[in-house]
Amino acid sequence: MNITHASFLTLPVSDQDRALRFYVDVLGFEVVADRQMPPGRWLQVAPAGAQTVLTLAGPGMGDFVPGSARGIMFVTTDVDADCARIRAAGVEVGGPDELPWGRMASLSDPDGNGLMLITENETGSY
């Protein structure tokens, strides 16, 4: 196999501007692309330096259902600090909890897409 990485993940959202504010202002992601193209706005965000980006697909960008994505996992070097910062922004966060593979927390974006934050333990194994 010659596959090296995933290019992007599609997150269905009902309001791209609201989603953009969440991913940039709350999670600290960067805008990778923001342009109009048929059939609508192509909006992508990602953590700095990430190979895989998130496409925030709004209405008209396929038959995606806003809030239907689950299990999107973001690795962080300090899940506790990130949870505190996200809570301070008014977002409900579950955890973080100590698990065999590390400390993990859960949250949702404004549409209800399920996100996870994890600081992996030394083994990094799930």
Domain ranges of the chain: 8-59+67-120
In angstroms, what CA-CA distances link 75 with 17, 40, 59, 92?
A: 25, 30, 29, 18
- The per-residue pLDDT for range 4-45, each reduced to its tens digit, is 889 999 999 999 999 999 999 999 999 999 999 888 899 999
Which architecture, in CATH terms, is 8-59+67-120?
Roll (3.10)
What integer pLDDT is reported at residue 125 of this predicted model? 60
Q: Quote the pTM value.
A: 0.92
- The per-residue pLDDT for range 35-44, each reduced to its tens digit, is 998 888 999 9
